[in-house]
Amino acid sequence: MSSANILHDVRVSLADRSYNISIGHNLIANGGGLIAPLLKRPFAVIVTDENVAKAHLAILEKSLAASGVDSKSIIMPAGEATKSYKHLAELCDALLAAGVERRDVVVALGGGVIGDLTGFAASILRRGVNFIQIPTSLLAQVDSSVGGKTGINSSLGKNLIGAFHQPIAVLADLDVLATLPKRQRAAGYAEVAKYGLLGDAAFFNWLEANVETIINGGNDFSAMAHAVQTSCTMKARIVAEDETETGVRALLNLGHTFGHALESATGYSDRLLHGEAVSIGMVQAFKFSEQLGHCAKGTNERVIKHLKRAGLPTHVSEISGKLPPKEKLVELMRQDKKAVGGKLTFILAKSIGETFIAKNVAESDVLAFLEKDLN
């Protein structure tokens, strides 16, 4: 077994809740050595899903055992539908039955669904236990595993029930990304592109030169490592400045107001993956910005061209099945967590790499935009 090769350590600075995002190779195979020093007693419970368990669970269990850590594992169903009240209750009961005590650590081994669900369960179990994120998807490595947002979905919208609960460590193993289906890799890439679009034009320029290398995979991990490190560094900086999203952290939701409404409208199903919804949502955000006069005409075409190169959808017409009318989509947007006083808030753009929080956006403007965009 090769030793862990940590290429980058990104610090999330949150006073006594600070932690590292370790990015590198063989981190799951050597997880025991990385996790054991963080435990109060040599015991941990791993939460994963059926798909990830087949590929990675035994490797992590073996590594923990080799480091003298006794572990138990809980395997949840795969898919966005697992982020529900039903599965949250099942997971909490399973964690208690496994003997998790308040000083113990729960390990989330999986993509964004497992990370969000496990983190939320950890936040409420015995009024709060520690957890570690081992994200196994690109999307989770660059976004959902970092920053302490945890939660489940409601029938009224995505991520509406949850808590801020920071992990004590994030282990981003680049090797697992090679096992991802291309669609999943592309979906994760949407969140990578987001960081360039929202606040780093130079990074977006770099992505334009390296998108195929990142998406197609292969044995060259240098581009992927740079993409993950840059994304995590930007998110860590923003989270340190605004942990509970009262200000600048809202910029990380570029494309999400539109995107979450589309996810809800498609039933959180394989019809539309989260990253695919974000891709369409970012295009809509730039298009809407152009329509309102905030952004130069043609900027959106550059965004579309790039996301298409990544293999991502860029328009609602690429979503299979029928979508609800524009009025229903706006109704779903009213449940967005950024809404204030019932008024819609969007992340809009002035240019690539420069975005801003637009509050009190007129609903009539949104409806007029959707009237054109949905046809």
Residues 366, 356, 133, 8, Cα dihedral to 10°: 140
Q: Which two tokens stand for residue 123?
A: 């936040």
| Rounded Cα gap, residues 336 and 224, in angstroms | 31
- Confirm whether 165 is a catalytic residue: no
**Catalytic pick among 25, 83, 235, 306:** 235
User: Is-catalytic flag, 309?
Assistant: no
- The encoded tokens of residue 300 equal 């959106």
Catalytic residue among 25, 165, 256, 338: 256
Q: Active site includes 294?
A: no
Q: Which of 157, 251, 202 is nearest to 353 (CA)?
A: 202
C-alpha span between 217 and 179 (Å, rounded) = 9
Catalytic residue among 130, 253, 276, 300: 253
Residue 306 annotated in active site:
no
The one catalytic residue among 80, 191, 276, 290: 191
Residues contacting residue 272 through CB under 8 Å, at least 6 positions apart:
262, 263, 266, 319
Residue 337 falls in the annotated catalytic set = no
Question: Do 357 and 345 meet the contact criterion of CB atoms below 8 Å apart?
Answer: yes
Q: 71, 59, 73: which is closest to 31 by C-alpha? A: 59
CB 212 within 8 Å of CB 126 = no
Integer Cα distance of 270 and 160 in angstroms: 20
Tokens of 351: 């240019």
**Cβ atoms of 257 and 357 closer than 8 Å:** no
Q: Which of 56, 194, 260, 337 is catalytic?
A: 260
Residue 241 exposed, middle or buried by CB count within 10 Å (0-12, 13-18, 19+): exposed
Question: Dihedral through CA 207, CA 239, CA 256, CA 149, nearest 10?
Answer: 120
**CB neighbours of 5 closer than 8 A, spacing ≥ 6?**
24, 25, 26
Distance between CA 175 and CA 30 in Å, rounded? Answer: 12
158 is known as an active-site residue? no
Is 87 considered catalytic here?
Answer: no
Q: Using CA atoms, how far apart are residues 231 and 224, in angstroms rounded to an integer?
A: 11
Q: Which of 61, 80, 243, 245 is catalytic?
A: 245
- Among 83, 165, 194, 274, which one carries the catalytic annotation? 274
Amino acid present at 138: L
- Is 253 annotated in the active site? yes
C-alpha–C-alpha distance, residues 278 and 198, integer Å: 13
- Residues with active-site annotation: 127, 149, 191, 235, 245, 249, 253, 256, 260, 274
